[in-house]
Amino acid sequence: MSSKLLEGVNVVELANFIAAPAAGRFMADLGANVIKIESAKGDALRHTAPSEGRPLDMYENTTWDLENANKRCISLNLKTEEGKKALHKIIAKADVLITNWRIKALERAGFDYKTLKEKYPKLVYGIVTGYGEFGPDKDLPGFDFTSFFARGGYLEALRQKGQKPMNVVPGLGDHNVGMNLAAGIVAALYHAKMTGKGEKVETSLFESAIYNMGMMVQAANYDLGARDFPIDVRQRPQPLLACWHTKDDRYIQTCMPDYNTYYKKFITTIGREDLAEDDRYFPIQNLQKNNLSTFIYDAIMTQFETKTSSEWKEILTAADIPFSVAQSWLEILEDKQAWANNSLYKMKYDNGNERTLVCLPVKFEEMGRPEYNKGPLIGENGVEILKDFGYSDEQINKMLEDKVLYVWKDENK
């Protein structure tokens, strides 16, 4: 394995939950020395297992590992001057600081960009917010359920007309935002290395959602189909972009963006050759002029319900039709394509359990596959980190006694 791409880069992560730590995880996988700063209570993400349907276990915490693998952790009481002093010593040698603290909290603690820029002009400062740094809602709390999915258009536009919004689960928006932040940080880091000048990199859950929805947000400029969402999928003007119910109660999603390119091949493949040459249904201009999109949708759905998902999978694959069976999470855990591309990893925990964990989706040929070291316990590396920055055993012990430094201990042991 060649040297890691960010080896020698020092990162301070003053962040919790998912979005900002996801950027830190990306950098840690690439070899950066990422030091996570926590309070004695720890990041609230350590305790979300019950809401995800997992057992609460500090030693086997799959969500924690997903966001915090390959990092080191120090727990400092930043309400004390000694705790702030220690953090400043760490930041002074850092190339990057990542945070998702709210702006007012950063300003009160003295870790806002303006303050740190004066002290550390080479520092790259990466921040995630809920709604952006400006505007009337800049100080609102933000999570991906609210800032990303709700405010960003997903829940309203993507629901079936007349139905409740889709269920969402944590991390979908956060991971997207974390990778956006990571891209900006790496660009700013390159600039800092070339010029000696730092930069502030910001993204938010809301801004990222707007970007993701960009095609349809822009289409809403026009008084045409985009303004009709949410829609009944049966009435969609392009019927080849739907999800089809099969005989075995599964769903198959097809994606044929250009109706005119795919229609004849697809309709023949599913056994409705009689519709292939009828100019009422082709090209799409005729289909829409004759208001027959719903007819074609119903015809296709009727065909799909005559065969199982396995049968359709074989037929559609042979015809080179773009499709996928809608998979459950359990099926993803066993997906051969995912395993072949190192999307999944078997982690052996100290309690003997082996669990499948998810890897980051960006890979590098020469660097090879990153190690997957479990995320640290609260303050687990605090003593060694302070020694790295010149603290003596006597100073460290006093910080522990004064509760400036905290190292978690299992009360059950």
Cite the active site residues. Answer: 174
Residue 289 has a CB neighbour count (10 Å cut-off) of: 9
In angstroms, the Cα distances linking 243 to 291, 301, 383 are: 20, 9, 54
| 48, 171 Cβ separation under 8 angstroms | no
Q: How far is CA 413 from CA 401, 408, 409, 410, in A?
A: 21, 12, 8, 6
Give Cβ neighbours of residue 328 (< 8 Å, ≥ 6 apart).
Answer: none
My answer on whether omega of the bond before 239 falls inside 30° of 0, hence cis, is no
- Asked whether the beta carbons of 119 and 130 are under 8 A apart, the reply is no
CA end-to-end distance (rounded Å), the chain: 39
C-alpha–C-alpha distance, residues 18 and 203, integer Å? 14
Instruction: Calculate the alpha carbon distances from 270 to 147, 252, 370 in Å.
Output: 41, 13, 44
CA distance linking residue 74 with residue 115, whole number of Å: 22
